[in-house]
Amino acid sequence: MSKSIKSIMIKTLVLIIISFPVLNGQTVKLKIIETTDTHGAIFQYDFTQMKSQNHSLAQIHSYVEEQRTDTTQEIILLSNGDILQGTPVVYYYNFEDTNSPHLYADVMNYMKYDAGSVGNHDIETGHPVYDSFVKQLDFPWLSANSVDVNTSKPYFEPYTIIERKGIKIAVLGLTTPAIPSWLPPQIWEGIEFNDMIETAKMWIPIIKEKENPQIIVGLFHAGGDPNYNGQTSETYKNENATRLVAEQVSGFDIVFTGHDHHGWNKFVDNSEGDKVLLAGGTSSARVFAEVSINMTFNSETKIWDKEITAELVDSKKYQPDSDFLKTFNPQFEIVKKYASKKIGVFTETISSRDALFGDSPFVDLIHKIQLDISDADISFAAPLTFNTQIKKGEILVKDMFKLYKYENLLYTMSLTGKEVKDILEYSSSIWFNEMKNSDDNLLRFAKEEDGKLKWSERSNSPMLEDRFYNFESAAGINYSIDVSKSIGDRVTIQSMSDGNKFDLAKTYKVALNSYRGNGGGGHLIIGAKITREELASRIITSTEKDLRFYMMKWIEKEGTVNPNADNNWGIIPTEWAKKGSEKDRKLLFEK
């Protein structure tokens, strides 16, 4: 045999070994890290409080980089939506500086994310923001069930394939389909949000046939409890269908949850009796999910045997990455300066705590601004923050994120007097307990089967039956809520606040936010019994920008603001309400 032929044979043998790295018994270690619902928590700094916090992407990046130094494993980094809303830092790059590259996109590219899913609060920013943002990403932003109505194809990428050491990992993205129930049509114009189960059933066979992946991952911005908010497993377009997809659509190895800020780490059985991991972090870069996968090739079966485990990791255990902080320090300083800008003066301190127990300066300030902006007859509003305070004195941009957390638009809608009353009846039914005597709770707490209060380990306090941001009160009318009466027969409206008669048959101009106006919380649909299809026809006007923007302009114009409760409504019996309120304040806030 000639020397040249020997050389060719050796080279061919090397090529064969390189081309077929998968040998019997070989193990590939994968680690998937999922962040979810980070809501702009890039830095270890709270721009609304102007102080350090113990959770951030900067800390998670430290952990990820540490894991990447371990050459025995392959790291995959995923984002599960709701990244573009919640803090001044993303608000600034969403709406104030739209010419510079979006900071959050730069951060995610720097961290080398492999894929992400689209969240409802990402859509909330509006087409100009998310259409631009997706173009700035170095990785695919996924949502298979967000369909372009003009092409009938996914508006975003439906799935992506990630390869590590010969292993193909398919990642299918889905978004909660309840977006039209919360957001104005112009924000998601041209997109239809399809049922998650149906969408997964359509795409899994396509992925299997086209890609032949060894692992299939669901990256779903939807919660894990399908029974939340009165829905059931049979509810079409269920808001939180993540677990339902894992159980009903065979093929997934891992399904990541988002949206509910809950934190998940459990196995469920799918329709073929296989175990599917349900995993997900919490919110604001506090807790992230880490899934370890040991893949071992079995030459007899010609398949990969998988050993999957998961844990939830707390970011506060890690220090921020110094290079990360150095890289993004210029943007940090820009946002800090923006959040520190003075817009006015408050003569009194206001607290969202007060808004849970009755008429309050906190919510009445929102009412006043809404009525002034809209020139409506009546205003509906609720506290959007559970436990915050804005101190008297100078009011800065940062304080507006305490007063008004979300980027809702302001609607003026046409509602009858009866519908107004029915909305208040509905709100009181989810807000206040039916008190038997003065020793009862005022608030409607969630209870166990034995009657004891359900306890939240996360907040170390009892859980309310419904979310505080659904505790809707009204301004422009004078009314009372009798908590000794049964649900549906509690509200008495005495008059308009200007002294004129309130008429159940009359049609009024009502100011309320777009979340509520689109059916969010059920006040208009369940309470006032207005069909979802009819809601759009009731809208008289809508602001072009978010309500917080107009609030800032209103305060700048006023200069000095004297926030106070106008006492247009009250809870009776008065002594029962007072005693119940004192009792419940201690339960919720005095730990």
Task: Give the pLDDT of residue 430.
Answer: 97
Q: What is the pTM of this model?
A: 0.90
Residue spans of beta strands (DSSP E) within 463-587: 473-475, 477-482, 491-496, 507-513, 539-542, 560-561, 569-572
Fold of 21-335: Purple Acid Phosphatase; chain A, domain 2 (3.60.21)
Residues 159 and 173: their CA atoms lie apart, in Å, by 6
- Residue 381's H or E segment, with its range, is strand 378-381
Task: Give the pLDDT of residue 7.
Answer: 37
Tokens of 154: 């996914």
DSSP 500: P
Report yes or no: 139 and 116 within 8 Å, Cβ to Cβ: yes
Task: Give the pLDDT of residue 51.
Answer: 96
Maximum CA extent, the chain:
110
pLDDT in tens, 8-42: 333 323 333 333 344 456 899 999 999 999 999 99
Backbone angles phi, psi at 330, to 5 degrees: -60, -45
Task: Give the pLDDT of residue 24.
Answer: 56
- Residue 554's H or E segment, with its range, is helix 547-558
Low-confidence ranges of the chain (pLDDT < 70): 1-25, 591
Write out the DSSP string of 439-490: TS-SB-B-B-TTSPBPEETTTTEEPBSS-GGG--EEESEEEEEETTSPTTS-
Report yes or no: 512 and 411 within 8 Å, Cβ to Cβ: yes
Architecture (CATH level 2) of domain 342-589 = Alpha-Beta Complex (3.90)
Domain ranges of the chain: 21-335, 342-589
Report yes or no: 393 and 359 within 8 Å, Cβ to Cβ: no
Backbone angles phi, psi at 10, to 5 degrees: -65, -45
Task: Give the pLDDT of residue 4.
Answer: 38
CB within 8 A of 151, min separation 6: which ones? none
Residues 58 and 42: their CA atoms lie apart, in Å, by 6
Report yes or no: 455 and 545 within 8 Å, Cβ to Cβ: no
